[in-house]
Amino acid sequence: MKPRDKYRLEGFTLLEITIALLISSVVLGVAYSAYRIVSRSYTHFHQRSETLAEIARMDQWMKRDFFSSDSIRLDSGQLKFTLKGRTYSSWLFSQSAWIRKSANPDTLSIPISRWSFSFDGKEIMGSPTANSGDVNGLAASSPRVDGFTLDLIMEGDTLPFGYYKPYSSENLFPKIAHAQH
């Protein structure tokens, strides 16, 4: 045994440490990049799923209003839903949102490219003017609605929605107090 080897410590050379640091920095860089990609994907997925959940909720409200109402009328650009002669819900539409006014108001802020109202297969153009025949907040000339379609725009895709109200004869013709039924 040489006298110099007795005092020599085992260790890494400067070159070995530099190579180890280089390799670990590459591994950490790849791991960080993968984390950022996964994080962005998760954030995008989370936002999209929240938007779709909001759309599903508004779709559910619209279906519930359509099927539980006695009458649906278009008045001053709003869809008004009545049950037993009382307006319980109304919907207002614009290019940037649709708004539900009721006991549980709500707003969906998703762009709408097109919407239309119809009755008996004929599209109703424009909104009527309110006149003196106002009954329960509805003008007497407010057209009845049995169909409604709209196209939502989400991330460049168009999502079509359609609603149809089958009316019974009791809902279409007003009851006359002195008539025999």
DSSP-H helix ranges across the chain = 3-6, 14-68, 169-172
Instruction: Provide mean pLDDT across the span 14-30.
Output: 95
Assess if residue 98 is contained within a domain: yes
Residue 171, pLDDT score: 66
What is the model's pLDDT at position 142?
74
Cβ-contact 79, 66 below 8 angstroms: no
Q: Which long-range contacts (CB under 8 A, 24 or more apart) does 170-173 make?
A: 171/70, 171/71, 172/144
Would you state the pLDDT for residue 134?
35
Question: Is 45 domain-assigned?
Answer: no
Which DSSP symbol is given to 138?
A: B
> Is 5 inside a domain boundary?
no
With contact defined as beta carbons under 8 Å apart, do 68 and 83 qualify? Answer: yes
Which tokens in the block code for residue 20? 């180890």
Strand pairing class (78-83; 71-75): antiparallel
Please report whether residue 179 resides in a domain. no
Task: Give the pLDDT band (50/70/90) at residue 181.
Answer: low
pLDDT in tens, 147-161: 999 898 888 889 999
pLDDT per residue as tens digits for the range 29-79: 999 999 999 999 999 999 999 989 989 988 998 999 988 888 898 888 889
DSSP letter at 9? P
**Is the pTM higher than 0.85?**
no
CB 91 within 8 A of CB 78: yes
Q: Examine residue 105 and state whether it is found in any structural domain, yes or no.
A: yes
Residue 71 to residue 88: CA distance in whole angstroms: 11
**How many domains does one find in the chain?**
1
Is the predicted pLDDT of residue 93 greater than 80, yes or no? yes
Select the more confidently predicted residue: 179 or 97.
97
Residue range 97-144, pLDDT digits in tens: 888 888 878 888 888 888 889 988 888 864 333 333 333 333 445 788
- Candidates 74, 88, 62; CA nearest to 164 is 62
Lowest mean pLDDT among 5-14, 77-86, 120-129: 120-129
Range of the structural domain that residue 114 is part of: 59-172
The answer to whether 87 touches 154, Cβ cutoff 8 Å, is: no
Dist CA 85 CA 39 (whole Å): 52
The answer to whether position 146 is within a domain reads: yes
State the Cα–Cα distance between residues 37 and 28, nearest whole angstrom.
Answer: 14
